[in-house]
Structure 1
Amino acid sequence: MAYEMNFAPVLARAPELAAGTLATVVLSAQSIAFGLTIGLAVALVRVNGPRWSGRAAAVYIEAFRNTPLLVQLFLLFFGLPYIGFRLSADHAALLAIGLNLGAYSAEIFRAGLLAIPPTQVEAGLALGLSRLQVMRHVIVVPALRVIYPALTGQLTLTLLGTSIASAISARELTLAGATIESQSFRSLETFLVVAAIYIAVTFAFRLVYWLIGLWLFRRRDPATGLAGAVLGPMQKGARI
């Protein structure tokens, strides 16, 4: 007997899917902001920090890069209460996904920072730029240009990885889909719709990354942004 597709029971629960999609977008955005902040800080410590802090950062990176995200999520959600810290499912998901992204993005950031020759920094200082200007225009932006494709790819994986949060009943799209499937018994239809929503959200995030890249890496006027005067000649030396 041929299977008859029926999306009506699933589409009737559209408000739940919309709420789950919004929760996934919020969780992804928060995790990305948290993870990138940690990743950049850890990368700077590994490149420029004292030896002991670099070793501590390396331990953190290896611990999170060599264990599954699901295990990390369970350790934070079920393990922290044993030492007196109880997190909600949403907060545990945010912490686990953010720390996981921080470990991966730290190595991506470190690769970008190491791609900037020391002579490029010296040239920026010789031109009279402040250390803050050198950090922004001579180090961070060129380094981001080197790593941007790899970094945005990792951010896409982070977005899709939020589905793991359904294992601890954190609010997000996969949990909403699982709830609808268990009540409607339309497994194929439910997860086809969920998959379509994930594809749409992923392309929306990729559009945002593309627009950020256009803004971040545009050639600016030397009188206002310094990028055209300082970064242009230096980008070749930094293999950008």
Structure 2
Amino acid sequence: MTYQFDFAWLATYWPVFLDGVLMTVRLIVIGGIAGLLLGTFCAWARSLGPVWLRPPVIAYVELIRNTPFLIQLFFIFFGLPAAGFRLTEVEAATLAMVINLGAYSAEIIRAGIEATPKGQFEAGASLALSPVQTFRHVVLVPALQRIWPALASQVVIVMLGSAVVSQIAVEDLTYAANFAQSRTFRAFEAYFVSTAIYLALAILLRFALLQAGRMIFPHAGAAR
């Protein structure tokens, strides 16, 4: 029995896929920016922050890096309401992505910070810069320059991992594929289209991040 491919249904369901793409992009833009900010703070806390702040940051990073993203998502969406914290599907998905990316990016950024020569810290002190000013102007920028390609790859990984947010009814790209498949019974075509779109999104996101890195850090591309 030969399978007859049929993509004619796309003429009807393309708005559903478009909405799914827009939701996925929204999640990664908000989750990506907030997650990188959180990761930067955690990297600072572990490397240069006060001693009392390090244990909770280490516990957070290890907890997130050693548990599945889907469980983290379920805990936020289904578990937190029991403690009185109620979030919408999109809010829960965004928070889960921020927390997940924050933990992974913290270790990447920390590696860049710890590779900073001690002479740069001494140079900041000689210029009468405060520890925060030294970190921001002398340490952080070169550190990000060194690890930018790895950081870009991690953002792409989190974007691809966001496919599971459809499990809590977030209408992302995977939700769109499931919706189309359930009504057309064309599983191969529906998931083929979603796979192609995810591939395109990953390539475009990686390209955009690396281009941004070249503009922000002129020599970031040399680290690849």
What TM bracket, shorter-length normalisation?
over 0.9
Q: Is the 8 A contact 2:97 2:162 kept in 1?
A: yes
TM-score normalised by structure 1 residue count: 0.86
Compute the displacement of 1:199 (Å): 1.2
Extract structure 1 runs of 4+ deviating beyond 2 A. 123-126, 128-138
Describe how 1:1-240 pairs up with structure 2 within 5 A: 1-126=1-126, 128=127, 130-131=129-130, 134-218=134-218
Farther off after superposition, 129-138 or 28-37: 129-138
TM-score normalised by structure 2 residue count: 0.92
Supply the distance in 1 between the matched residues of 2:64 and 2:120 (Cα, whole angstroms): 33
Supply the distance in 2 between the matched residues of 1:68 and 1:100 (Cα, whole angstroms): 10
Change (3 A) 1:85 1:133: closer
* % identical equivalent positions: 41
Supply the distance in 1 between the matched residues of 2:11 and 2:125 (Cα, whole angstroms): 60
- Structure (1 or 2) with the larger CA radius of gyration: 1
Q: What is the CA deviation profile of residues 150-201 of structure 1, one whole-angstrom value per residue up to 9, with x for unaligned ones?
A: 1111111011011010110112100011001000100000111111111111
Q: Which amino acid aligns with 1:57?
A: V
Change (3 A) 1:212 1:176: same
Q: What is the CA deviation profile of residues 54-83 of structure 1, one whole-angstrom value per residue up to 9, with x for unaligned ones?
A: 011000011111110000101110001111
Q: Is the 8 A contact 1:141 1:216 kept in 2?
A: no
Change (3 A) 1:130 1:49: closer
Q: What is the CA deviation profile of residues 132-163 of structure 1, one whole-angstrom value per residue up to 9, with x for unaligned ones?
A: 66434421121012211211111110110110
Q: What is the CA deviation profile of residues 65-102 of structure 1, one whole-angstrom value per residue up to 9, with x for unaligned ones?
A: 11100001011100011111111111100111110111
Change (3 A) 1:51 1:130: closer
Q: Is the 8 A contact 1:10 1:189 kept in 2?
A: no
Gaps of 5+ in 2: none
Count of aligned residue pairs for this structure pair: 220
**Root mean square deviation of aligned Cα:** 1.8
Compute the displacement of 1:130 (Å): 4.3
SS at match of 1:13: helix
